[in-house]
Chain A
Amino acid sequence: MKWKNEILGKWTSFLCAGLVIVITLSIVSFIGIKGLSTFINTGISPVDVLFSTDWIPDRPDAEGGPALGILPFFVGSIVVSLLAVSLSAPLSIMAAFFINEIAPAWGKKMLQPAIELLAGIPSVVYGWLGLSILVPLIRNAFGGLGFSLLAGALVLAVMIMPTIVSVSVDTIRALPGSYKEAAFALGSTRWQAIRTVLLPAALPGILTGIVLGLSRAFGEALAVQMVIGNVREIPNSLFKPATTLTSGITMDMGYTVMGSLWNNALWTMALLLLLMSFVFIILIRLIGKKGLA
């Protein structure tokens, strides 16, 4: 009986772990098949889709047929998430050191719960706040529409802060205490210890946090859509509106017919999002390997 349970328990738990693989593989295959159907038997080449800025999915065949260039969406996603990370990372890293090194008591009681709370705020609320506070603010301060790359990046910067902070805090905390003590013993100030010893030692972990933040920013949908303006042009200024892969999908998914070319192009964008998230994982693994070496 005892051993029957043992076997039963072991196998149920193994199946549950296996389920994770099944789910992942089915997501990849379902989205993959839908996403690739744009190119199968349609004569449309991936190059025309990935590297073209013409997005006229409803153009009649007489005028040259649908154009499905998704480059502006892709570039928009990349630019807005890189901007968000570069705004968010310095502040987040400082916060992580603050919690661990500068004022642990205050940091753990106030700052860390505050950052966890930021993670809990729903993305619709972020979008709605961006729409009612940030957009008018940018419009009044810099002119233009207010709906802009900057608005999207700022909203995302706040949203990804918790990710970067929590990963960095864990990394810094896990550093051997001897590092810091050795630095202090050599007469370093706290800032010198952080700058010359702790930061370099924690860098791989912090980079992991940054990449995770980047991937979260890249995939965020509703909040960005509400403030970025959704203009299908590659933006040439911070204050110009832009668009992203996610808002391209949310804007048109409901309006288009499942199985039509237009709809399939949206699935191609979803596939691109999926592939990018794998790219981020590979990046994180590479950083991890480097950190160990």
Chain B
Amino acid sequence: MFKLKKIGLIVLALILTIAVAGCAGSKKEENKAGEAPKTQENKSGSVTAVGSTALQPLVEEAATQFMSKNPNAQIVVQGGGSGTGLTQVSQGAADIGNSDVFAEEKKGIDAGQLKDHKVAVVGMAAVVNPNVGVKDLTQKQLIDIFTGKITNWKEVGGADQKITLVNRPKGSGTRATFKKYALNGVEEASGIEEDSSGTVKKIIKETPGAIGYLALAYLDESVLALKLDGVEPKKENIVSGKYPVWSYEHMYTKGEPTGLKKEFLDYMLSSEVQDTIVPKLGYIPATEMKVTRNP
């Protein structure tokens, strides 16, 4: 008898916990809904930003700083990928959708209802194992390499080594950008695919004859970033529009942002984030770009 009561109690307690927490969850929603633009000193409420894993560190870092300034505000940052971010913001499940690509470029998203906030620019470079003996490729050569027409480095003036392609997954923003701006949109030949930039770098470093592509933030002396048509992939050339392989990092909202959402997005574009965290993570501040790009 006694034992049975105890089990009953435990079950009851469990249900209560879930119920309370569930209510708490919905209370959070109410806060969000009933949120009016508040005074500068008292930013409170909760905002959820979901999406791109590449953008996640930047937003997380900015959110941490933002919250330490505004103790009543809660910015919850989640990964899940660009597709997830765009899906959730369109459905209203998240306040902000982080994406590596324009919403217009993702099939299945009604981009018309989303408002784009370009918070940073990311440059990408074709990257090779340092022993291939090539430092510069024309776009034509690059395309021929990635479509499998050129299979040995000696054909482009390098060492006698077989070319090994290392790709990112088809859906990744890095691959989409590289394909569009470096390869003029041609379909790549199949090569190994790795889900992460870190692994791509590791493979290129360790495999003779390997070529892949990475965001500039991942570059270091273990791999060699190629010049494209003689232009070096670096910040100055991207800002001026000379080097074409770059893309925006987007934070989408459904309609015009209001309240805390707006405060946080303004903060993302303020010099506090743009001049410190953005370059530290290897991004280029969106505010510095001299050229713009549309979907």
A binding-site residues for B, Cβ under 8 Å: 1, 5, 8-9, 56-59, 131, 136, 139, 145-147, 225-226, 229-233, 241, 243, 250-263
B171/A262 in contact, CB under 8 A: yes
B87/A259 in contact, CB under 8 A: yes
Closest residue of A by beta carbon distance from B106: A257
A251/B193 in contact, CB under 8 A: yes
Query: When chains A and B are docked, how far (Å) is the Cα of A231 from the Cα of B199?
Result: 15
Q: At the interface, yes or no: B195 with Cβ under 8 Å from chain A?
A: yes
Known: A257-B107, A262-B107. A56 touches B83 (CB 8 A): no
Binary interface profile of B, 81-104, with partner A (CB < 8 Å = 1, else 0)?
111101100000000000000000
Q: At the interface, yes or no: B147 with Cβ under 8 Å from chain A?
A: no
The answer, among A229, A258, A262, for a CB contact under 8 Å with B84, is: A258
Query: When chains A and B are docked, how far (Å) is the Cα of A86 from the Cα of B106?
Result: 43
Interface pairs (21), CB distance under 8 Å: A5-B1, A5-B4, A57-B170, A58-B107, A58-B170, A59-B187, A145-B164, A226-B199, A230-B192, A230-B194, A230-B195, A231-B190, A232-B190, A251-B171, A254-B53, A255-B172, A258-B83, A258-B108, A259-B87, A260-B83, A260-B106
Query: When chains A and B are docked, how far (Å) is the Cα of A59 from the Cα of B179?
Result: 13
Residues of A with C-beta under 8 A to B266: none
Minimum Cβ distance to chain A for residue B66 (Å): 25
Residues of B with C-beta under 8 A to A1: 1
Q: At the interface, yes or no: B64 with Cβ under 8 Å from chain A?
A: no
A9/B4 in contact, CB under 8 A: yes
B binding-site residues for A, Cβ under 8 Å: 1, 4, 53, 79-84, 86-87, 106-109, 164, 169-173, 187, 190-195, 199, 203, 206-207
B108/A255 in contact, CB under 8 A: no
Query: When chains A and B are docked, how far (Å) is the Cα of A225 from the Cα of B196?
Result: 11
Known: A57-B170, A136-B206, A230-B192. A254 touches B80 (CB 8 A): yes
Q: Is the interface of A mostly helix, strand, loop or mixed?
A: loop
The answer, among B86, B106, B172, B192, for a CB contact under 8 Å with A231, is: B192
A260/B203 in contact, CB under 8 A: no
Query: When chains A and B are docked, how far (Å) is the Cα of A190 from the Cα of B158?
Result: 64
The answer, among A58, A229, A255, for a CB contact under 8 Å with B81, is: A255
A259/B108 in contact, CB under 8 A: yes
Residues of A with C-beta under 8 A to B108: 257-261, 263
Query: When chains A and B are docked, how far (Å) is the Cα of A262 from the Cα of B87?
Result: 14
B203/A256 in contact, CB under 8 A: no
Query: When chains A and B are docked, how far (Å) is the Cα of A58 from the Cα of B192?
Result: 18
Known: A136-B206, A145-B164. A255 touches B82 (CB 8 A): yes
Residues of B with C-beta under 8 A to A258: 83-84, 87, 108
Closest residue of B by beta carbon distance from A243: B193
Minimum Cβ distance to chain A for residue B114 (Å): 12
A145/B207 in contact, CB under 8 A: yes
A256/B171 in contact, CB under 8 A: yes
The answer, among B53, B164, B193, for a CB contact under 8 Å with A230, is: B193
Residues of A with C-beta under 8 A to B190: 231-233
Minimum Cβ distance to chain B for residue A79 (Å): 17
Query: When chains A and B are docked, how far (Å) is the Cα of A225 from the Cα of B193?
Result: 10
Query: When chains A and B are docked, how far (Å) is the Cα of A6 from the Cα of B107?
Result: 57
Residues of B with C-beta under 8 A to A59: 187
A231/B83 in contact, CB under 8 A: no
A257/B83 in contact, CB under 8 A: yes
Closest residue of B by beta carbon distance from A131: B199
A261/B169 in contact, CB under 8 A: no
